[in-house]
């Protein structure tokens, strides 16, 4: 292979690390431009209250419309944004855009994901206050999603931040519950408004007895602590049925609606008729 043309030699002996580093640097360079070039966009996915059969919230999910790579998902650039600190400005943009957008969906709550890096940033609470003030969104209509990882290192500090956020009047949800270092102590020492059961449990609900047991106990636990439970990643009617039967309050997943741009979400909301399928299932179960 090294014989194929003189230029190939250099490439051939280049250590893999350098290539990875180059790719990373290129991505970093592009990401620095993304905000300025207006390449970031938010998609929204509905959260459905099973009991009322209505969409009560939407989760804002970040996308990067890269000029040559196409639509890049957050898993591919958020880690880099976190490592470089860019997540602070990107995160503020997300917050502002989501709150602004929520104004055109009266009565709906908007959920925004917070990176642990944002969570630890000393200006977080002020930023949230400022964005709410600037946009005029009622604080109760904003829900901030955090993961367990923000609680593990300095629980005291984390609880102070969470209390300050609660003081503003925003809702707090624990995202991806069950995947991290879940501690019941966290739930006890801080009253989250909502627990989102990670999709890994929902996906395996039908074939893993353990998943059902876990889902059942999380629902029971959050019920007794006066929190809402949302099941993430609901893709089939069977899963929705099971969750309904277990008393899960809220669901989110491709079965109900995929993340879509704001305009499409507006259309989705306008067309929403509830789920007759679920309605009849409920009467059957009763």
User: Contact residues for Mg ion (CB under 5 A)?
Assistant: 113, 145, 175-176, 232
Q: Least separation, in Å, of the C-beta of 74 and ligand C2E?
A: 4
* Residues 151-190 close enough to bind ligand C2E by CB under 6 A: 175-176
Alpha helices in the chain (DSSP H): 8-13, 16-34, 74-84, 87-102, 116-120, 124-135, 149-152, 155-168, 184-189, 199-203, 209-224, 237-245, 262-271, 276-285
Residue 71 CA to residue 88 CA, distance in Å, equals 21
Q: Which is nearer to ligand C2E, 77 or 186 (CB)?
A: 77
Q: Which is nearer to ligand C2E, 22 or 32 (CB)?
A: 32
* Of 156, 203, 142, residue with least CA distance to 178: 203
Residue 282 vs residues 80, 120, 225, 257, 273: alpha-carbon distances, Å: 45, 43, 25, 20, 16
Q: Which of 162, 249, 259, 265 binds ligand C2E (CB under 6 A)?
A: 259
Place of tokens 């180059």: 22
Compute how many other C-beta atoms are within 10 angstroms of the C-beta atom of residue 251: 26
Question: Chain centroid to CA 200: how far?
Answer: 14
* Residues 40-69 close enough to bind ligand C2E by CB under 6 A: 45, 61-62
Say how many CA atoms lie within 13 Å of 146 toward its Cβ. 26
Q: Least separation, in Å, of the C-beta of 199 and ligand C2E?
A: 6
* Residues 193-212 close enough to bind ligand C2E by CB under 6 A: 199
254 binds, among Mg ion, ligand C2E, none (CB under 5 to 8 A by kind): ligand C2E
Q: Is 71 in the site for ligand C2E (CB under 6 A)?
A: no
12 binds, among ligand C2E, Mg ion, none (CB under 5 to 8 A by kind): none
Under 8 Å between Cβ of 127 and 87: no
Q: Which is nearer to ligand C2E, 108 or 197 (CB)?
A: 197
Instruction: Build a one-symbol-per-residue string for 4-43: x at contacts with ligand C2E by CB under 6 A, - elsewhere.
Output: ----------------------------------------
73 binds, among Mg ion, ligand C2E, none (CB under 5 to 8 A by kind): ligand C2E
Burial 64-88 (b: 16+ CB within 10 A, else e): bebeeeeebebeebbeebbeeebbb
Q: Which is nearer to Mg ion, 148 or 176 (CB)?
A: 176
Q: Least separation, in Å, of the C-beta of 255 and ligand C2E?
A: 6
Under 8 Å between Cβ of 87 and 115: yes
Q: Where do contacts with ligand C2E occur on this chain (CB under 6 A)?
A: 45, 61-62, 73-75, 78, 91, 94, 113-115, 145, 175-176, 199, 232-235, 252-254, 259
């Amino acid at each position: 292979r090294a014989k194929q043309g003189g230029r190939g030699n250099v490439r051939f002996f280049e250590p893999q690390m350098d290539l990875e580093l180059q790719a990373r640097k290129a991505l970093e360079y592009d990401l620095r431009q993304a905000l300025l070039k207006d390449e970031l966009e938010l998609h929204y996915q509905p959260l459905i209250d099973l009991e009322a059969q209505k969409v009560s919230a939407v989760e804002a999910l970040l996308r990067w419309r890269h000029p040559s790579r196409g639509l890049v998902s957050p898993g591919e650039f958020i880690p880099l944004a976190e490592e470089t600190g860019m997540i602070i400005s990107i995160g503020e943009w997300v917050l502002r855009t989501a709150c602004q957008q929520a104004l055109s969906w009266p009565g709906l709550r908007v959920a925004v994901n917070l990176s642990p890096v944002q969570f630890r940033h000393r200006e977080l609470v002020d930023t949230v206050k400022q964005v709410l003030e600037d946009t005029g969104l009622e604080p109760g209509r904003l829900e901030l999603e955090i993961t367990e990882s923000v609680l593990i290192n300095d629980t005291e500090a984390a609880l102070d931040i969470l209390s300050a956020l609660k003081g503003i009047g925003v809702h707090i949800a624990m995202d991806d519950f069950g995947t991290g270092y879940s501690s019941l102590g966290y739930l006890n020492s801080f009253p989250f408004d909502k627990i989102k059961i990670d999709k890994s449990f929902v996906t395996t609900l039908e074939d893993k007895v353990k998943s059902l047991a876990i889902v059942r106990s999380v629902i029971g636990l959050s019920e007794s602590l006066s929190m809402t439970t949302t099941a993430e990643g609901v893709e089939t009617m069977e899963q929705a049925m099971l969750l309904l039967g277990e008393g899960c309050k809220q669901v989110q997943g491709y079965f109900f609606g995929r993340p879509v741009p704001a305009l499409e979400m507006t259309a989705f909301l306008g067309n929403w008729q509830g789920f007759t399928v679920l309605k009849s299932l409920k009467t059957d179960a009763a």
